[in-house]
A and B are shown apart, each in its own frame.
Chain A
């Protein structure tokens, strides 16, 4: 299979579809692709995502929303849950301007505790880190498979 073919998005698995089927997720255009055999959470710039028309950057709100959705979906998958966990608190840092383009997210479970799990999400544009967020999810006793 050549590289071009591998870059073609594949269909979502059924359980992935259900996790990404919330109205708000569809509304904002978050998507998931398989690139080079890896799952990638992505968002393609649309005019309605514009936050600063002068320099044509994403609105900070949509970046935080994207990070939160990715954190929740990633945690649900790691735990094998069919329902998305609810975030209790989040901190989101804007490190560079997120210019119009395709952003992708890299989630990581920082610590899966018995009661609270912390998930960090990096947002990158053309390989450059533009935002980083930390999201705390109250969870049950089930181990979420963290690296702590």
Chain B
């Protein structure tokens, strides 16, 4: 069962100012797993009608962080930050919503290792994948 503090954090996650600016929608959060949708908007486009790489890497970062929080024990600390992210841009997401799925694959004393994939919602075409390391102390 999710700790109430974590449940509260998840509920306000879309309202974090930058995440609100992006317009993310939380689809699913279970222990060690998070799924977040990013609806397409013209402001998030780079060249042509595709999501800008920065929007994709932002989505990777915030979804990985959510997966890290999802199975976290608040008794171990609540101060957090991303340590590093790696994003591989595999294909362009052309004018369509994308879905990011993140798994926390290893929890250390402080560091949480997460893997993330991002795909188009309608076609399930892989858009990007990568990993991130999150630290909660």
Contact = CB atoms under 8 A, between A and B. Distances in A.
Interface residues of B, number: 33
A93 B83 contact: yes
Interface in B1-39: 16-22
Majority DSSP secondary structure for residues of B touching A: helix
Interface core residue of B19, B21, B80 (most chain A CB under 10 Å): B21
Contact of A92 (B21, B55, B57, B81): B57
Contacts, number: 119
Interface string A51-91: 11100011111101110110000000000000110111111
A52 B55 CA distance: 18
A60 B61 contact: yes
Interface residues of A, number: 37
A89 B87 contact: yes
A14 interface: no
Q: Which 6 residue pairs of A and B lie closest in terms of their CB atoms, listed nearest first?
A: A65-B54, A61-B58, A59-B18, A24-B52, A50-B17, A27-B43
Interface of B: 16-22, 42-47, 52-55, 57-59, 61-62, 65, 80-89
8 contacts: A24-B46, A48-B17, A60-B85, A61-B58, A68-B53, A89-B87, A90-B53, A94-B81
